[in-house]
Amino acid sequence: MTDHPSAPPQGKATSYSRVTLSRIMTAVDVNLYGTVHGGVLMKFVDDVAGAAAARHSGGTAVTAAIDEIVFSEAVRVGDLVHAHAQVNWTGQTSMEVGVRVVAERWDSAEEEPVRVATAYLVFVGVDVGGAPRAVRPVLPETPQDERRYREAEIRRAHRLARRRAIQAHRSL
C-alpha cells in the first residue's frame, strides 16, 4: 500500500533538525573597526538555519524572514565560530529556526566559548516549482524544546499582528 500524496507528513523530533556549522574567521571577514562584519555573521546564521530547515522539512526550504538577530559580543579574526541551529516550531508550510552563535577565542582556547549572537528565522518549504509545500511537524523532546516551541508561537503571533496593523494603516 502506498501513501496518498496529500497525506500529512510524519513529524520529526526536534533533535533531527539540529545542525552545527563551524569556521575560523579571517582577515577577509573584518569591518572597518577590525572585528568581524555583522553581515558575515548574518550569512553564516542564514546558512546554518537553512541547513536545519532543509533537514527537518526533507527538501528545499527558503528564508522568508529574519525575525530577530542580536549581536551580543564582537567576533575577532582568528576566532573559531560555531553556529548551532534547530527547528523550534512548524506550521503548515513554515518553520521557525533558532540559531545560537558562539566563539572560541583564538588567544584563550582554554576558556568556555562566548555567546556572540542569537537569531530567529522563518523558512518556508517549497516544491520544485517554488510553491509552498507542507512541512512535517516538529515534535519537541525536552522541556527546553517545549519552551522554545511556545516562545516561537508568541513571536509568530506578534509577526502576524504587526502585519495586520501595518495593512490596516495602509488602507486608511
165: region left, alpha or beta (phi > 0 left; psi from -120 to 50 alpha): alpha
- Cβ neighbours of residue 49 under 8 Å, at least 6 residues apart? 63, 85, 97, 99, 119, 121, 123
Mean pLDDT confidence for 9-29? 95
pLDDT in tens, 116-132: 999 999 999 999 999 99
Is the overall model pTM greater than 0.85, yes or no?
yes
With bands split at pLDDT 50, 70 and 90, how would you rate the model's confidence at 1?
Answer: very low
Does residue 7 surpass a pLDDT of 70? Answer: no
Q: How many helices (H) and strands (E) does the chain have?
A: 2, 7
pLDDT at 166 (0 to 100):
93
Q: What is the pLDDT of residues 150-166, one digit of tens each?
A: 999 999 999 999 999 99
